[in-house]
Structure 1
C-alpha cells in the first residue's frame, strides 16, 4: 500500500518530520516517522522524530491488556472451578464473589484497550475516546469483534454463578469460558501467522487451559485459606480433583504453547536470542517451567499424602480385644499410623505455600503475555530485518563509502559518502549519478540522479533493485566539466 501527501508549494527550506499512523493486519496501531529536507541544505539528522506521548499510551495499553487478561482468565477459571471441582459447600459464595468482580474488571480492561487503541491510531490522546469516527474505526477492526465475543463469554460466565441448577451452571461456565478464551484468538499476532488454522487453534487451547489452571489455582488458594483451621476429607478431594484437571490442562497448555512459540519464532534459535519477542518468550517459558516443577511435586507427592492422611483421619479405628498391652506394638488389623497430626498440618501448610507461589508466578506470566501481545513476533522481525550492505573503496581523493538498506528486493536507500585520507567528508562533485545493472539477468545499466544531503554525502531511494542477485552499482561523480570519477560496487540483493 502506498500513501502520498502533496507538499505545500510555499514550504520554506529546512528539515521536516513526516509521521504516519496505520492499523496493521493483526489489529495493532503502528506509527513511525522519517526526516526529509526542502531546499539545497543538508537534512538535520538531530531533528526529533517523535515524543514520549506514544510511549505513555503504549504502557497504558500494556496495563489495560494485563488487567483484561488477568480478570477474564480468572473469571472463566473460577467459574469452571466452582462448577466442576468445588464440593458446593457454603464457601463457594466467596469464590463466586471474586468471579463476578473479575468479570467487571475484565470489561473495564477492555474499555481501556479501546481508549488506548483510539489514542494511538489517531494521535489525539484522550480526546479520541469521544471521537465517534475514531472509535468506529477501532471497533470495526478485529479488536471490536474480539471484545464482542469476550463480553458475551463473560456474560455467560457471570450467569453461571447465578443459576442454582448445577447442570445449567456447568454448561454456562464451560461454554462461556471457551468463548472468553476464543476471543483472544480473534485479535493479535496469531491472526497473521501461518498456518492460520494452527495458530488460531493453539491460541484458543492455550487461553482455555490457562484459564482453568490460573482460575483453579486462585480458587484452590481461597478454599485453603478459608478452611485453614479444619482441613477435612472433602477439601482433600477438591485438591485431588483440581490436581487431575490441572494435569490435563498443563499438558494442553504445553502443547499449545509449543505450537504458538514455533509459529511465532519460526523454530530458530536466532529468533529466540536476538529478538525482544524471543527473549521475553524465554523468560515466560522459564517461569512456567518453575511453576510446572512445583505443580509436579504437588501432584506426585503432596496431594497423595494429603488425600491419604485425611482418609486415614476420617476412617473408624479398629480395636482388637486380643491386642497386646504395649501401645507401641501394632497388630495386622491395626496398621501403624502413616501420618501424625503434625505431619498432616505440615503437608497442608506446604500446599498453601506452593499454591500461593504458583498463583504469584502465573500473574507474572500473564504480565509478560500482556507485553508480548504488542511486540512484533520474532519470525516477522527475522523475515523483515534490514540487512545493511556497507562497502568502502579507495579513490584518488580518498575513499567512497556505499551503504544500501535494506538490501532486499524492492525499494532501497543508498547513501554515498566521499571522504579524504583522514576520513573527513569532502566535496568531490556537486552532482552524482548512480548506474544499476544486473549482469546475470542481462539487465543493462539504469541511471539515476541523486540528492545531495551534505558535504560529499548523497542519498538516493528507489525501486531499481527489484530482482534478487548480485547487482553492479556504479557511482559516477562529475568532478569537473571534462572529467568524472567512476567507482563500482558489487551489491548482493536478497528476496
Structure 2
C-alpha cells in the first residue's frame, strides 16, 4: 500500500503469506518454550540422579572412629571401576591433604590407597573419583576419625561444583540425543520418504543445524566428564593427559562413530544423485544411532550382545520416528490441503515407516527393561530407574495411540475422494496438530532418557537396597537402631545409633562394647570396643560375621557409673 510517497511493505492481515509466517513464528515460540521447560526438568532430574557404581563398603567405614592411624583406605564399589586422572585423596579437618601413595584397583571393584604417614587424632575425609564400567564418573567421600574425639561433620567437602557439571553433562546428553536423532531421522525422511519437491530445501536445515548442535553437545559431554573425573572444573579440559584418559574409554569410540555418522547425513542433503544420497543417509544414520549403544548402560547389561543390539535398534527406531515426524510437520506446514493428492505418497510412506518403528521401539524397549531389571517387577516399581522407564513407556504408549489413530482414521480420510474443501482443510489441520503432539511427546521421552542414563539400573539399585539389615528396639533412653551392611559373609559395617522419642541423637556414652555370637554354630561371643564417632553413634567395620546363619549381636553401654544397658539383636547373615 502507498502512504504519500512511501510504500508500506507490511503484508495485509488477510494475506495468506503473512498468516503462514505468523503461524510458523507461533509454532517456533511454542517449541522454544517447551524445550526450555524440558531442559529445566532435566536439570532437576540430573541433580537427583545417582552414579552407576555405588559404594558398597569402606575401611574405615563412613562415620567410623578408629583408635589408631589406618595404614590404608579401601573403598569397594558395586561394579568394576577404574582410576583415571582421579583416585583417592585424604584431607584433614582443615582441608589439607595428608600423604597417600598411588591409588590402585584391587579385584576390579576395590579402590586402595596406602597412607604414608601416621595420622594424628582428629577427623579426616577420604575423597574418591573413579570411572564406572559403563563410562560414567563416580565421586564421593567418606568421613572417619582417629582417636576418641567426636567426628567433625563440618569437615565434609562441598559437592556443589560436581552438581553443576552433572547438570551440564545431563543437558549436553539431552541436546546431543535430540539433535543427532533429528538430524539422522530427517535425513532419512528426505532421502526415502519425501517426494524431492522444492520444499525439501526448507527441511534440510534441520539436518545441518542438528549436526552442528550434536557436535557442540558432544564437546559439553567431554568437558563434564573431564571435570567430574578430576574435580578441577573447566580447567581439566586443557590437560592433554586428562583428555586422553577420557577419550580412551568407550566414550571416544562413541563420539568418533557419531561424528562420522553426522558427516554422512549432512552430506546426504547435498548430493543430487538419489542412490548416493540414500546410501549416505541410511549408513550415516545407522552410525549415529549405533554410537549411542557403545557407551553407557548397554555395555554392562547382560547378555551384552542382546543389550547392545536392543539399544541400537531402540535408537534407530526413535530416530526414524522423531525425524519423520519433524519432516512431515514441515511438509504439512509448507503445503496446502489442495496438494493432498501429491502429498498422499509422503503421508503413506511415513505412516508405514512409523508403524514398523513403533513395533521395533516396543520390542527393543521391553528387552532393555528386562535386562536392566533382571526381569524383576518389584525392582522396576520401587527404583528410580524403573519409575523413569515406566514414565517413558507411558509417554511412548500415548504417542503410539495417537499414531495408530492417524494411520487408521486421519490418513485414509485425507486420501479418500471428497468435494468438500472445508472438510479437507479440517482433516489436514487435525493431522498437523496430532503429529506436532507426537513430536513434542517424543522429545519429552528423550529428556527422560537423558536422565535414565545417569541413574543406576534397577538390578544394581535393588541389590544395594535389599542387602542391608536395619533393626530398631525400644530402650530406657529411647530407641537404639542397629544397621548391618551388607549382611553377607565377610566384611560388614555395623552402625549403632541411640535416639530419643523425637529422633534426636542421645549421648549415652563415649564408648560401646559389642559382641558377635552364633550359639547354634557353637561360636562364643567375639567382643569389640567401639568409640563413639559422634554423640550417640557408633560404627565398626570388620570380618566378625564369618559364616552364614543367624547371629546374635549384643551391644552394651554404661549409662552411669552403676548402670549398664544391654540390647541384643538377631541378625540373618547370608553367604
Task: Give TM class, smaller chain.
Answer: 0.7 to 0.9
What is the match of residue 387 of structure 1? 468
What secondary structure, in the 3-state scheme, does the structure 2 residue paired with 1:267 have? coil
Contact 2:183-2:211 at 8 Å conserved across structures: yes
Give the direction of change, closer, same or farther, for the CA distance of 1:67–1:18 in structure 2 (3 Å limit): same
The farther-off stretch of 30-39 and 41-50 is 41-50
Bigger Cα Rg: 1
From 297, 301, 318, the equivalent of 1:210 is 318
**Which secondary structure does the structure 2 equivalent of 1:57 belong to?**
helix
For residue 142 of structure 1, the aligned residue among 246, 250, 271 is 250
Q: CA RMSD in A?
A: 2.9
Superposed CA deviations along residues 145-198 of structure 1, whole A, max 9, x for unmatched, are: 111111111122122222222112212211111111111111111211112122
Paired residues of 1:474 and 1:486 also in contact (CA < 8 A): yes
Greater mean deviation of Cα atoms: 432-441 or 103-112: 432-441
**For 1:89, which of 182, 188, 197 is the aligned residue?**
197
Q: Which residue of 2 aligns with 1:489?
A: 569
Change (3 A) 1:455 1:70: closer
Which deviates more from structure 2 when the two are superposed, residues 466-475 or residues 124-133? 466-475
Aligned to 1:291, which of 391, 394, 399? 399
**Structure 1 residue 460, shift from structure 2 partner:** 0.5
SS in 2 for 1:390: strand
Q: Determine the C-alpha separation between the residues in 2 that align with 1:8 and 1:184.
A: 43
Contact 1:435 1:474 in 2 (8 A): yes
In structure 2, relative to structure 1, the CA distance for the partners of 1:479 and 1:212 (3 Å cut) is closer
Per the alignment, in what secondary structure is the counterpart of residue 162 of structure 1?
coil
Change in Cα spacing, 1:191 to 1:467, as seen in structure 2 (3 Å) is farther
Instruction: Identify the residue that residue 376 of structure 1 maps to in structure 2.
Output: 456
Q: Which residue of 2 aligns with 1:23?
A: 131
- Conserved 8 A contact 2:500-2:506: yes
Out of 453, 458, 471, the position equivalent to 2:538 is 458
Residues 28-47 of structure 1 mapped to structure 2, 5 A cutoff: 28-45=136-153, 47=155
Residue 103 of structure 1 is matched in structure 2 by 211
Verify the 8 A CA contact 2:553 2:570 in the aligned structure 1: yes
Instruction: Name the counterpart of 2:368.
Output: 260
**More deviation in 481-490 or 43-52?**
481-490
Q: Which has the higher strand share?
A: 2
- TM-score when normalising by structure 1: 0.86
Q: Trace 1:336-347 onto structure 2 (pairs within 5 A).
A: 338-347=418-427
CA shift, 1:420, in A, is 9.6
Aligned length: 465
Question: Structure 2 stretches of 5 or more lacking a match?
Answer: 1-108
1:307 to 412, 415, 428: 415
Structure 2 CA distance, aligned partners of 1:130 and 1:15? 34
- In structure 1, what is the equivalent of residue 175 of structure 2? 67
In the other structure, the counterpart of 2:13 is none
Deviation at residue 346 of structure 1 after TM alignment: 0.9
Distance 1:415 1:161, change over 3 A: same
Alignment pair present for 1:348 and 2:456: no
Alignment partner for residue 358 of structure 1, among 438, 442, 451?
438
1:51 and 2:159 are equivalent in the alignment: yes
**Cα distance, 1:355 vs structure 2:** 1.1
What does 1:222-261 correspond to in 2, within 5 Å?
222-228=330-336, 230-261=338-369
